[in-house]
Structure 1
């Protein structure tokens, strides 16, 4: 059977994961939150971490605490993303220049990230606006990028290709983060403050993103449009196609069922990732000297984990491997619940477990979903997939926060997340995956 793509093209596709992961790790996970909060505190009249009573900033005339600016900005970007991504997917499916769309969104996001070079003094609105633009462009570029997957790999090879992409992403994001953390440790010899290192680290992520995006743009090929080219206003056409997609999902209800299962268990995964440092700091009383190296370790182990679970999927199938990973995630939550305070080694070991299961569960979810998409609708459906990934990421933190508010215990809050993995496991197990793939008009792989 003739391959859908050359090795060169698949390698180029992997490199967009390498390119964009720097934004997630360096900007979103580590540096921008504390840095933007410090800028907002300066604008509110705070002296370092000491703020006068009632200290507030006033974006768009609204009084908010400076510490709330970054979470609110993230929430707003998620809200806007819900409307943008399906439209982007619909446009991508109806455009013969998908590679150029990838370039457009990638370079907009990278340019907005580099623009944070000017995020100094009290310019918190500049930082919030640039992050909104960068994060939305990031999501849009990933929709277009993911829609290439069914075009470059057949159903037998898709798990392996998706796993390689995720693995390269963790390796790329971890490599730049390692360089930037080293810069933080060497800030005195570099003659820079912590804030300056953070700002230049954020800018470096934009340069990394833009620079390495060149590789997939040179390697990937545009392909004939299966959905039919748009005529007239592409944005209006995208909204019309989005409505058609939502109505059309009645013909593939099992695909929708999978999306609901993914929404549930992925929200648990995202919450563990985002709140692990809070749990380590507040409940386990661990310092940044333990937390930051552990974050780095997770990135590199996720590289190995994506490859390991991808290999396992070739033996037992992606569906069974994801179910196994959800069992392992449940074990992670149980272990986190019983970790002792002020003990670095058990926390680091747990971080290693998270790293090994993290990359594979995400990579295989992407490749399995690609089997459930009717041909010619890859962009549209991956737009909905990205909403399931990002648009509901408030559910897990909400459950965590409510559990903490009711019990004043981070241990109860972390164990509350187990429901996402148990319910997600049950929901995914109930999807008749072979019939779901056939319902979408595709041929099931030999192993599921």
Structure 2
């Protein structure tokens, strides 16, 4: 990193004062993003897309895994360079807006996916496009954390945003449940005939995300461009070389930081797999209907939000690494119990699925705070950028493991084993990382 680039990073990473309304505006994007994370990828649209009208259970689940795998590969190839170039060009907020708009449009277009086999491909394409754009938008959004916080309150601000995401998911899912899923005739006269209750819910979700994403673009200023940044064309050609140069510098000067970036990328992808495939497993392997899936999602979000707050208090006493290790182990144990006890009925998913939800938030929160203690002084912006992008670089692991496990086992329940293996791999990579003093 050049001297001017370092100054550029420092000036964008350490605001002198941020008003509470700016933090609230930033966190509202997280609130709104629950429309895609909770409704589209986890509990509603993916469950709808893998229902009987679209084809055989194992075949449709495999195609879903392949679509998400392709999206993950695209993210892995583009996200690391995109994050560097947009920040260097001073276009962080611009590209957040572009990618958010793509997610909103893809979500709204899901209204066209009727419950027939010929519409499966359209649904998978829209889901893949939405996932790619959402991951790109998340890179820019997470990078904004340095603009709305400083070293004294970064954990509090980050946790507030994360909590807003959980809360937004609960509120939106409750609205969809009451307005469209529960009643035989929902709001605006919508019924389940032709899947219209789910399809209209996608339009509502798109509007929800678009509305709550607006404040961040007015409250958070655009970052200044790096005066030494290359032109766009040159930047595209040299972006990976610069990325590998940064990684090589970490290898020489802060190796444990690099080790943690790799480990966290793997186990965070396992966490993403939990969110992505939980609804599908609940519906296909435990017999949950769409109403029950959404009810479970609401309860799981409440549990995860409360556990994240409590986990932060516990983390200060026993250390972030201990929280991460214990949480991942217990998540895998819950996953194996779900797999082994599956024949006993739906209560198994309620008990052990909710128990698993307890440990998801603390892992996410502890991972971010652990890294903040590892970052060498003066390199906060660079390392947090790598943290955001390395997680996306391996975002194909969980979909690939899920797809392979389902293909080998023949039913969706085997996908739990695939996701658990990704979590275990992340755990093994985390073990040798030294905890900061």
Q: Deviations over 1:404-444 (max 9, x none)?
A: 36xx8957x7467655444433422311243xxxxxxxxxx
Give the 5 Å matches for 1:113-262: 113-120=107-114, 126-182=122-178, 183-189=180-186, 190-194=189-193, 195-225=195-225, 227-228=226-227, 230-232=229-231, 234=232, 236-253=234-251, 254-262=256-264
User: Using the alignment, how far apart are the partners of 1:36 and 1:340 within structure 2?
Assistant: 22
Distance 1:398 1:260, change over 3 A: farther
CA 1:6–1:340 in 2, change beyond 3 Å: closer, same or farther? same
1:376, distance to aligned residue in structure 2 (A)? 4.4
SS in 2 for 1:148: helix
Structure 1 residue 278, shift from structure 2 partner: 5.2
Aligned residue among 7, 15, 27 for 2:40: 27
Quote the Cα distance in structure 1 between the aligned partners of 2:148 and 2:80: 21
Go from structure 1 to structure 2 and tell me whether the alpha carbon gap of 1:312 and 1:343 turns closer, same or farther (over 3 Å shift): same
Is residue 5 from structure 1 mapped to residue 8 from structure 2 by the alignment?
A: no
Q: Aligned residue for 1:84? A: 78
Maintained 8 Å contact 2:263/2:430: yes
Report Cα offsets for 1:376-402 as digits up to 9, x if no partner: 425751453332462322354156437
Q: For the Cα contact (< 8 Å) 1:281–1:287, is it kept in 2?
A: yes
Instruction: Indicate the SS of the match to 1:393.
Output: helix
1:360-385 residue CA offsets vs partner (Å, 9 max, x unmatched): 21233234445556344257514533
Structure 1: state its 5+ residue gaps.
Answer: 42-47, 52-64, 435-447
* TM-score between the two structures when normalised by the length of structure 1: 0.78
Mapped to 1, the partners of 2:405 and 2:148 lie a distance apart of 39
Report 1 or 2 for greater relative contact order, CA contacts < 8 Å, sequence distance ≥ 6: 2
Paired residues in the alignment total: 410
Q: For 1:390, which of 377, 390, 395 is the aligned residue?
A: 395
Deviation at 1:101, TM superposition (A): 2.4
- Is 1:75 equivalent to 2:69 in the alignment? yes
Q: Is the 8 A contact 2:22 2:220 kept in 1?
A: yes
Q: How many Å separate the matches in 2 of 1:185 and 1:200?
A: 14
Unaligned runs of 5+ in 2: 1-13
Deviation at 1:31, TM superposition (A): 3.2
Whether the aligned pair in 2 keeps the contact of 1:89 and 1:382 (CA below 8 Å) is no
What is the rounded CA distance, in whole Å, between the counterparts of 2:393 and 2:268 in structure 1?
8
Task: Provide the C-alpha distance between the structure 2 equivalents of 1:414 and 1:271, rounded to a whole number of angstroms.
Answer: 9
The 2-side partners of 1:216 and 1:172 are apart by: 16
Confirm or deny: 8 A CA contact 1:99 1:217 kept in the other structure. yes
Residues 267 and 395 in structure 1, CA contact (< 8 A), matched pair in contact too: no
Preserved CA contact (<8 Å) 1:114 1:206 = yes
Classify 1:228/1:245 alpha carbon distance in 2 versus 1 (closer, same or farther; 3 Å). farther
TM (norm. structure 2) is 0.80
Deviation of 1:18 (Å): 0.9
Q: 2:361 aligned to 342, 359, 375, which one?
A: 359
